[in-house]
C-alpha cells in the first residue's frame, strides 16, 4: 500500500490556477484597452487642434473661431472636460506667419480619470490672406 504525502496531493489546484491566470489575463487585457483609449484621446485632441489651426488660418476667419472649432470637435468626441484648456496664438517660427493652437488636457490613466494637463498637443497652419504677397 502506497501512502502519499499531503503536499503531493494536487486535488483542488485547478480552480486556484484558473483564478490566478484569469486575474492576470484580465489585468493585461484592461491595461491594453486603457493604452488604446489613451491613444484615441490623443488622436482626437491632435486632430481637433489641426482642424482648429487650419480653420483659424483661413483668410476670412479669426483665431478665436479656430479655438472654438477645436473645442467643439473635442467636446463632440470625448467630452467638454477635455476641451477646457485650448489656446491660440500666432508666430513666425517657420519662416512665415502661422496660427498655433495648443491643447493641454487630461491624460487618461484609469478610464477617463487621469493626470490633469498631462497631455499637450500643438498644431500649426500658415495664415492665408486675400492680398498678393
- Mean pLDDT (10-residue bins), the chain, 133 residues: 66 85 95 94 96 93 94 94 93 89 93 88 90 60
Residue 62: the pLDDT is 92
Residue 4: the pLDDT is 65
Based on the number of CB atoms within 10 Å of its own CB, is 67 exposed (0-12), middle (13-18) or buried (19 or more)? buried
Torsion region of 108: left, alpha or beta (phi above 0 gives left; psi -120 to 50 gives alpha):
beta
Residue 1: the pLDDT is 56
| CA distances to 9, 28, 31, 80, 90 from 41, in Å | 51, 20, 15, 13, 25
Distance CA 115, CA 30 (A): 18
Residue 43: the pLDDT is 96
Instruction: Rounding to the nearest 10 degrees, give the CA dihedral for residues 81, 54, 40, 113.
Output: -20
Residue 95: the pLDDT is 84
- The length of the chain, given as a count of residues: 133
**Which H helix or E strand runs over 61?**
none
If we measure between CA atoms, which residue out of 30, 61, 19, 42 comes closest to residue 118? 42
Residue 3: the pLDDT is 63
Amino acid at each position: 500500500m502506497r501512502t502519499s504525502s499531503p503536499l503531493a496531493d494536487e486535488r483542488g489546484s485547478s480552480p486556484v490556477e484558473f483564478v490566478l491566470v484569469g486575474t492576470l489575463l484580465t489585468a493585461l487585457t484592461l491595461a491594453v484597452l486603457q493604452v488604446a483609449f489613451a491613444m484615441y484621446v490623443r488622436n482626437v485632441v491632435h486632430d481637433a487642434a489641426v482642424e482648429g489651426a487650419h480653420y483659424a488660418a483661413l483668410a476670412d476667419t479669426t483665431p478665436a473661431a479656430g479655438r472654438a472649432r477645436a473645442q467643439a470637435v473635442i467636446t463632440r468626441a470625448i467630452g467638454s472636460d477635455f476641451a477646457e484648456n485650448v489656446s491660440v496664438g500666432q508666430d513666425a517660427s517657420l519662416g512665415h506667419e502661422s496660427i498655433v493652437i495648443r491643447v493641454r488636457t487630461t491624460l487618461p490613466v484609469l478610464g477617463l480619470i487621469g493626470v490633469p494637463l498631462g497631455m499637450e498637443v500643438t498644431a500649426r497652419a500658415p495664415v492665408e490672406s486675400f492680398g498678393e504677397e
